[in-house]
Amino acid sequence: MNDPTVRRRVRVAPDGPVLVEGPVELVGADGKTVVADRFVVAVCTCRRSKRYPLCDTSHRKRVRDQPGPG
């Protein structure tokens, strides 16, 4: 797993999470470790997730400003 020749692909989704090819081990600023064995892991960037640092799609609930009439 610590092979320096192995590269992980990371994709930044517009207005969404960062997608990381897994499995991964995430270490938060507080030192808490989260292990995800999925083949793609969505890492929350909006901090709305109840499963933070993993994304639960809470960012989709945000209502965007709509232009007013006229």
Residue 53 falls inside a structural domain? yes
What does the pLDDT read at residue 41? 92
Number of domains within the chain: 1
Residue 66 falls inside a structural domain? no
Residue 69 falls inside a structural domain? no
What does the pLDDT read at residue 29? 86
Residue 23 falls inside a structural domain? yes
Tokens for 5? Answer: 């020749």
Q: Indicate whether this model's pTM tops 0.75.
A: no
CA 34 to chain centre: 12
CB 69 within 8 A of CB 42: no
Q: Give which of 32, 36, 56, 31 is closest to 46, Cα–Cα.
A: 56
Q: Give which of 41, 7, 46 is closest to 26, Cα–Cα.
A: 41
What does the pLDDT read at residue 15? 77
Domain that holds residue 39: 10-61
pLDDT in tens, the chain (70 residues): 567 677 888 998 887 889 999 899 999 889 999 999 999 999 998 888 888 899 988 777 655 555 656 5
